[in-house]
């Protein structure tokens, strides 16, 4: 199916690995030219080269921290008028005791998970509205909708981002601009491989063993972690020309593990 976005331009923040990279790759496969950013330059350059070689689109890597003013300026200088904006960031650490979350810690993760993405929306959404087309996707976390004490640093900033996004989506919906949030659960990302790989090393097992155990432990109905490329395809679908009537939504992509009607 042709998603109708060939020739469009996208910024994808947090795109060196994981769900950000998968989303960038899915957009590139649809003919979207990319500006991709991340803090780690080596992985970012490798991802840019791989996507460009596979798809033939233009891929411009910008090594920058989108949680800072300077980083945002560098990214927007490379693509001041994107048609599509997708953003994610490295997940905060698991198991952080709420008693240890000081104002300084909050400022760090609010800058990454809420302020930075909100600033990109603020800086780009009016231009999209003027041109009559725009797609904005926040890649957040299931913990934004389903609070969990082990994700106390991850859920609250992204809940705030989803709230902001829904509010802004009402203003620009009639101008052809949609804003939606994806709430992923467990996927085979670099972060998951690092986390469960470390557990496997201590136990003398394998990453696959620990991922399967976690899928059972957390009761994932699908029975396994998600494929990042499948997630990227969902992101690309919401960025398509056919998704103009879907806006202000927060879609859980977690294999069915969370319980809720809506």
pLDDT of amino acid 151: 87
Q: With beta carbons less than 8 A apart as the criterion, state whether 169 and 178 touch.
A: yes
216 by Cβ neighbours in 10 Å (0-12 / 13-18 / 19+) ranks as exposed
pLDDT of amino acid 69: 96
Which domains can be identified in the chain, with CATH numbers? 9-185+227-253 (3.40.50.720), 187-225 (no CATH)
pLDDT of amino acid 148: 86
Task: Look up the pTM and report it.
Answer: 0.95
pLDDT confidence of 56, banded at 50, 70, 90? Answer: very high
Each residue's pLDDT tens digit, 112-156: 999 999 999 999 999 999 999 999 999 999 989 999 888 898 899
68 by Cβ neighbours in 10 Å (0-12 / 13-18 / 19+) ranks as middle
């Amino acid at each position: 199916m042709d998603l109708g976005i060939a020739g469009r331009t996208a910024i994808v923040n947090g795109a060196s690995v994981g769900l950000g990279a998968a989303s960038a790759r899915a957009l590139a496969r649809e003919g979207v030219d990319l500006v991709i950013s991340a803090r780690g330059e080596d992985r970012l350059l490798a991802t840019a080269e791989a996507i460009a070689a596979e798809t033939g689109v233009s891929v411009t890597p910008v090594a920058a921290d989108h949680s800072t003013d300077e980083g945002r300026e560098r990214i927007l200088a490379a693509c001041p008028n994107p048609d599509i904006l997708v953003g994610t960031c490295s997940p905060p650490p698991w198991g952080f005791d709420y008693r240890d979350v000081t104002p300084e810690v909050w400022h760090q993760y609010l800058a990454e998970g809420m302020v930075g993405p909100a600033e990109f929306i603020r800086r780009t959404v009016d231009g999209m509205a003027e041109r009559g087309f725009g797609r904005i996707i926040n890649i957040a976390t299931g913990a934004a909708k389903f609070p969990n004490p082990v994700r106390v640093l991850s859920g609250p900033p992204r809940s705030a981002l989803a709230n902001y996004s829904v509010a802004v989506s009402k203003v620009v919906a009639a101008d052809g601009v949609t804003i939606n949030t994806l709430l992923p659960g467990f996927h085979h990302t670099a972060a998951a491989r690092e986390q469960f790989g470390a557990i496997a090393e201590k136990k003398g097992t394998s990453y696959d063993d620990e991922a399967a155990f976690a899928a059972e432990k957390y009761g994932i109905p699908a029975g396994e972690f998600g494929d990042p490329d499948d997630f990227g395809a969902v992101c690309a679908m919401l960025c398509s020309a056919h998704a103009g009537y879907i806006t202000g939504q927060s879609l859980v992509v977690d294999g069915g593990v969370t319980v809720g009607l809506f």
